[in-house]
A and B are shown apart, each in its own frame.
Chain A
Amino acid sequence: EIVMTQSPATLSVSPGERATLSCRASQYIGFNFAWYQQKPGQPPRLLIFAASTRATGVPVRFSGSGSGTEFSLTITGLQSEDFATYYCQQYDNWPRTFGQGTRVEI
C-alpha cells in the first residue's frame, strides 16, 4: 500500500498570503495524484487532478505541481473561503490512498 504523507499538519496564514502544502508518496506514482478541499460539514471537493490540472470551476489561485513522489499545492492570495482542510490522494495503485490532511487556518 502506498503511504501518502502530508506536511504540515496545520498551516496558519493570513488572508491575501500565499500557502504551500506538500504531499509525499512512499513510492513512484507518476502524475496519478489529486488534491481535495473539505470544509466542515461538507463532502470533499476535487481541486486538482493529474498533479496539476484544475478541476472544473476551481479558481486559478489554486495550482498544483510535482510528479513521481513529491507534490505541492499552492494557494496564492488566500481568501476567506479557502480556510479548510486539504487532502492529497494517489490513484496509481490499488488501494487508492489519502494523506492525513493539512488544515489551513487563520
Chain B
Amino acid sequence: EVQLVQSGAEVKKPGESLKISCKGSGDTFTTYWIGWVRQMPGKGLEWLGIIYPGDSDTRYSPSFQGRVTISADKSISTAYLQWSSLKASDTAMYYCARQGMRGSFDIWGQGTMVTVSS
C-alpha cells in the first residue's frame, strides 16, 4: 500500500526556521509529483506548491512564492516544506499529497500541525 508519512507536530516561535517532511513508499518519488496543501484552523484547503522529485521541477502558488521552499531527496523518498522565518500566520495544518497520473491528489499524508506562537 502506497503511503505518505509526515513528520510530527511542531511548536515554534516567530522568526524561527522550520523544515517538515513527507516520506513516501514504492515508486511514488520517481514517478509522481508531490504537493503541499495548507489548512489554517477552521478554514479551507490552500494549494502551496508542488515538486517532481525526479528532476526537482517545482511550482509555487504566487500566494506562497518566497514564503516557503519546497524540496525533495528522491534517494530517501522524502519531500520537504521549509520556512526561514516563521510568522504567527503560518500556524496551520500542512498536508503533503501525491498528484496522480490524472492530475488530482490521490494519496494524502496524515498532516503536520505547525503552531507559531511567542
Tell me if A32 and B62 are in contact (CB < 8 A): no
Tell me if A95 and B45 are in contact (CB < 8 A): no
Range for the number of chain A residues in contact with chain B? 20 to 34
Tell me if A46 and B104 are in contact (CB < 8 A): yes
Given that A44-B45, A96-B47 are contacting pairs, would A49 and B102 also be in contact in the complex, using a CB cutoff of 8 Å? yes
Complex interface: chain B residues within 8 A of A97 (CB): 47, 61
Say yes or no: is A43 at the interface (Cβ < 8 Å to chain B). Answer: yes
Which secondary structure dominates where chain B touches chain A?
strand
Complex interface: chain B residues within 8 A of A38 (CB): 45
Range for the number of chain B residues in contact with chain A? 20 to 34
Instruction: From B60, B99, B109, B110, give the contact of A95 (CB < 8 A).
Output: B60
Say yes or no: is B26 at the interface (Cβ < 8 Å to chain A). Answer: no
Complex interface: chain B residues within 8 A of A87 (CB): 44-45
Instruction: Point out which of B60, B100, B103, B109 has the most chain A C-beta atoms below 10 A from its C-beta.
Output: B103
Min CB gap A42→B, angstroms: 9
Say yes or no: is B34 at the interface (Cβ < 8 Å to chain A). Answer: no
Say yes or no: is A84 at the interface (Cβ < 8 Å to chain B). Answer: no
Q: Other than A46-B104, A89-B47, A95-B59, give 14 A-B pairs with Cβ distance below 8 A.
A: A34-B103, A49-B103, A53-B102, A85-B44, A87-B44, A87-B45, A91-B103, A91-B104, A92-B103, A94-B59, A95-B49, A96-B35, A98-B37, A98-B46
Residue contacts A-B, CB under 8 angstroms, 27 given: A34-B104, A34-B105, A36-B45, A36-B105, A44-B37, A44-B95, A44-B97, A44-B105, A46-B105, A46-B106, A49-B102, A50-B102, A55-B106, A87-B45, A89-B47, A91-B104, A92-B103, A95-B49, A95-B60, A95-B61, A95-B63, A96-B47, A97-B47, A97-B61, A98-B45, A98-B46, A100-B44
